[in-house]
Amino acid sequence: MEKRVQLYEGKAKKVFATDDPELLIVSYKDDATAFNGLKKGTIAGKGVINNKMSNRLMKLLEASGVPTHFVEELSDRETLVKKVSIVPLEVIIRNISAGSFAKHYGVEEGIVFDSPTIEFSYKNDELGDPLLNEYHAKALKLATDGEIQLIKKYSFKVNEVLKEFWKSCGVTLVDFKLEFGRLSDGTVILADEISPDTCRLWDSKTGEKMDKDRFRRDLGGVEDAYRKIMARLEEHYEAAVGK
Ligand code: TMP
Ligand code: ASP
């Protein structure tokens, strides 16, 4: 696969064209931002970890019936993916109260929900990714009703698969953000990444945060947390895919 021009540079990844119009190469950076780019930094080695983690989790999801953009890992930081046009919705699933949920509703972090919640925000940096509901998303023509129903179905399935996988690693999946995209024929698939940048992952025994909240909240030990969570995944991944 021949890598061609850079099409886009985001906060954490670059995207390149290839000689196949249906395929792209994503390259993961060590750059980290928080609060809509207000806080900036670098997490050494993050790009390599997020690339590998996201690819492994997407393979696991694919095997469980969730279609994803993953095609092939090309190197430590680069992956070949299916080209999609991103549905401009960030889908957030929560199993436990934390982050903006705890803040909005004035509750402590760590309340375990009886069943997971789902929320959407409009992926728009200028507007600060405002929260919206399905009706708003349809009014703004961000997605059709059929697409939204499918996105919800896939998102809850992702939660079931990842919650079980992380549990087998001794890690609690607190919440996470997903993005979906459309192939050229309109098929909706899971895109973007699933990594410690986009999930809250707590050690099941100690409650230690093993994700980007260490960077967002200046908790220290950021690089170490990324290495530790990746090591947990590596330890338990073969057993999970072999099932
Ligand atoms: P929140 O509690 O700040 O709304 O975050 C919910 C989840 O979404 C958390 O796992 C982190 C992830 N997330 C992103 O991936 N990108 C973002 O821009 C934000 C705000 C959160
Ligand atoms: N996506 C956020 C930003 O815009 C980062 C985050 O909180 O995950 O900087």
Full set of structural domains in the chain with CATH: 3-82 (3.30.200.20), 85-234 (3.30.470.20)
Predicted pLDDT of residue 119:
98
Predicted pLDDT of residue 149:
98
Nearest CA to ligand 1 atom 11: 198
Q: What's the CA-to-centroid distance between 70 and ligand 2, angstroms? A: 23
| Residue ranges in the chain assigned as alpha helix (H) | 46-63, 99-105, 134-139, 145-168, 213-216, 222-241
Predicted pLDDT of residue 1:
78
Predicted pLDDT of residue 176:
99
CB distance 88 to ligand 1 below 6 Å? no
Predicted pLDDT of residue 65:
98
Predicted pLDDT of residue 243:
65
Residues of the chain with pLDDT under 70: 243
Say what the pTM is.
Answer: 0.98
**Of 163, 181, 1, which Cα lies nearest the Cα of 85?**
181
Q: How far apart are CA 51 and CA 151, in angstroms?
A: 23
CB distance 210 to ligand 1 below 6 Å? no
- DSSP assignment letter at 36: T
Predicted pLDDT of residue 151:
98
Ligand 2 proximal residues by C-beta, below 6 Å: 11, 33-37, 197, 212, 216
